[in-house]
Structure 1
Amino acid sequence: MKKSDCDFSPLKQQLIEQLEDIVLHLREGIHTLKTDSGCTLSRLESIKDQFETVETMAASFYLNCYLAPFTDKYLDISTCIQHLSSQRHGALIVIERKDSVDPFIRPGTPMGAALTHPLLESIFYPGNPLHDGAVLIRSNKIFSAANILPLSSQNWSDKKLGTRHRAAIGLTETCDALVLVVSEETGKVSFAVDGKLHPIITASSPL
């Protein structure tokens, strides 16, 4: 990741401010404990909520940082997932990075089309025969659609993850691809990288 890819971002400044606020609250909590001047439980609950907010903000910030070196179309991708989220159209989008994903996926329908957010959104429109599989993005093109990804080998029964989410995690356990998931049940958006799933900010999930 190039340093310049993530510089001067308003979201980065918000992250810094949120983290500084958490540090302030932690220091106040420590002072309260040391001086026996009150109960810290409510303060700890507030800090927990702030951490969850910061995690989501950080994931949104780093998503563009992860995408920028490998595609110039990361704004189209971001716009697409925002729209899919608001409409609760499920989606699974693979962005190939350094590693080829060919050895790990069952290929679907070749496309070789220029990446635009209207085209990407249309693939996942309910009723489209390609909408159930994963779209593969290579550089600035939609390389193929309706690809089948390997499911994660981990036991995710306690987290009640659907097939799309387990497929996203499964592929990123085997290569360095980044996989975006939109839940058709909730509209929530996550991305998987290095076998881990991270929630990100959308208009339908405001902070």
Structure 2
Amino acid sequence: MNQIQCNDSPMKEQLKQHINEISDVLQQSLHKIDDESHCILSELEAIQDRFRKAESIAASFYLQCYLSAFSIQYLELSIAVNHLSQRRHGALIVIQRNDAIEAHLHNGISVGAKVSYSLLESIFYPGNPLHDGAVFISYDHIVSAANVLPLSATIASNKKLGTRHRAAIGITERTDALALVVSEETGQSSFAYMGKLYPINMGDVTE
């Protein structure tokens, strides 16, 4: 992991601020709970909203750390996912870390080009023959596109997750790869790592 990028990130300060605000609201609720004339349900709802925001910032912060350690083009990746999310263009991008992942990829089309946000956006443009599948990235190169990934078996019954999300989780259950995914239904961007899926705020990532 690139410690300089992680330690110097303004997202780290944002995360600290949100955690401190959550702590303050919790302390205020503790003081009010013995007051029978006061209902703390609104405070609890506010805490939930703050937790969701803190989770999004934390995910964005750690995503930047993970990407910067294994791809010098992590800003290009962030910009691409941000644009794809805004346009609701579904996408799935797998970044190799230490483990070899080729054995888990099927039917991919060789690309062999340097990572750029414009190329990634064109690959996932609706109607492009390569858009339906995963892009495989190793360090600063797009190795292949339209790859078929193994689906997660552990979340097969979760109807809220589409095929892209199940594939993102599936590849990260089998390897230490990191997978970026954009939902074409909602535009929500997420990343999968070690079999877990985390929502991200791409506006924070690209700052």
TM-score when normalising by structure 1: 0.93
Give the structure 1 partner of residue 41 of structure 2: 41
Give the Cα separation in 2 of the matches to 1:22 and 1:192.
Answer: 26
The Cα RMSD (Å) is: 1.4
Q: Is the 8 A contact 1:79 1:117 kept in 2?
A: yes
Give the structure 1 partner of residue 122 of structure 2: 122
Give the structure 1 partner of residue 197 of structure 2: 197
Structure 1 spans left out of the alignment, 5+ residues: none
Aligned residues: 203
Give the Cα separation in 2 of the matches to 1:49 and 1:172.
Answer: 28
Deviations 1:102-148 (A, max 9, x none): 12221411111111111111111111111101000000000111111
When residues 38 and 13 of structure 1 are mapped into structure 2, their CA distance, relative to the original with a 3 A threshold, is same
**Alignment map for 1:76-95 (pairs within 5 Å):** 76-95=76-95
Give the Cα separation in 2 of the matches to 1:110 and 1:166.
Answer: 23
Q: Is the 8 A contact 1:12 1:61 kept in 2?
A: yes
Q: Is the 8 A contact 2:2 2:68 kept in 1?
A: no
Q: Is the 8 A contact 1:111 1:145 kept in 2?
A: yes
Q: Is the 8 A contact 1:188 1:202 kept in 2?
A: no
Give the structure 1 partner of residue 14 of structure 2: 14
Give the structure 2 partner of residue 96 of structure 1: 96
Residue identity matched to 1:46: A
When residues 159 and 53 of structure 1 are mapped into structure 2, their CA distance, relative to the original with a 3 A threshold, is farther
Give the structure 1 partner of residue 111 of structure 2: 111
SS in 1 for 2:70: coil
**Alignment map for 1:105-184 (pairs within 5 Å):** 105-184=105-184
Give the structure 2 partner of residue 188 of structure 1: 188
Shift of 1:8: 2.1
Runs of 4+, deviation exceeding 6 Å: none
Shift of 1:34: 4.5
When residues 75 and 88 of structure 1 are mapped into structure 2, their CA distance, relative to the original with a 3 A threshold, is same
TM-score when normalising by structure 2: 0.93
Give the Cα separation in 2 of the matches to 1:83 and 1:2.
Answer: 25
Give the Cα separation in 2 of the matches to 1:38 and 1:156.
Answer: 44
SS in 1 for 2:119: helix
Residue identity matched to 1:173: E
Task: Kindly indicate whether residue 70 of structure 2 is the aligned counterpart of residue 70 of structure 1.
Answer: yes
The 10-residue stretch of structure 1 (5-14 or 86-95) with the greater mean CA deviation from structure 2: 5-14
Give the Cα separation in 2 of the matches to 1:79 and 1:117.
Answer: 6
When residues 116 and 152 of structure 1 are mapped into structure 2, their CA distance, relative to the original with a 3 A threshold, is same
Shift of 1:36: 5.1
Sequence identity of aligned pairs in percent?
54
